[in-house]
């Protein structure tokens, strides 16, 4: 039923809980977990007073993505088949593109459960993926580690 499960990660605290869910599903269906982190190419500090060049922002994002993938893979149960990738783009769009392009069967992703002003200002990648995904999406509430 599920052969390929996408597990997007930004390295947030609590990602182990989402990894546990993805790992249990993968073990049950003999599936591969595809751990993905997106190097966010939108430089939020791109202004004359922002202080970060595009190159510095991208490098910092790449380092964050590499650490996020490593942390998430370490949280997966032993014996689960894993593939990893780090790609550049806008997280919500990139996740949905990879689901469609790679023919993945399911997405398991963490959510912070932000509400109110935080939700309005920061948005929710998980919410956007849930609304637009062509495959089932399991969201896991991330808790502080």
The domain that contains 34 carries what CATH number?
3.40.50.620
DSSP state of 124: -
Give the chain's domain count: 1
Domain span at residue 43 reads 4-141
Please state, for a pLDDT cut of 90, what percent of the chain lies above it: 63
Helices (H), 30-122: 54-75, 91-102, 116-122
d(CA 71, CA 69): 6
Q: Comparing C-alpha atoms, which of 53, 38, 141, 135 is closest to residue 91? A: 38
What confidence tens digit (pLDDT) does each residue in 66-110 have?
999 999 999 999 999 999 999 999 999 999 999 999 999 999 998
What confidence tens digit (pLDDT) does each residue in 10-69 have?
988 889 999 999 999 999 999 999 999 999 887 665 555 456 677 888 898 999 999 999
Strands (DSSP E) found in the chain? 4-8, 32-40, 81-89, 106-111, 137-141
Stretch (H or E) spanning 28: helix 15-29
Supply the pTM of this predicted model.
0.88
SS3 category, 72: helix
């Amino acid at each position: 039923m599920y052969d390929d499960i996408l597990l997007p990660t930004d390295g947030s605290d609590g990602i182990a809980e989402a990894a546990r869910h993805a790992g249990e599903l993968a073990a049950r269906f003999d599936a591969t977990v595809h751990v993905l982190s997106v190097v966010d190419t939108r430089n939020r500090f791109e202004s004359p007073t922002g202080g970060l060049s595009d190159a510095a922002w991208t490098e910092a994002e790449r380092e964050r993505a590499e650490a996020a993938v490593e942390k998430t893979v370490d949280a997966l149960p032993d014996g689960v088949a894993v593939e990893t990738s780090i790609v550049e783009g806008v997280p919500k769009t990139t996740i949905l593109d990879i689901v469609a392009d790679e023919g993945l069967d399911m997405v398991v992703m963490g959510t912070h459960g932000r509400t109110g002003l935080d939700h309005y200002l920061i948005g929710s990648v998980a919410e956007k993926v849930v609304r637009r995904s062509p495959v089932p999406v399991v969201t896991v509430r991330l808790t502080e580690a």
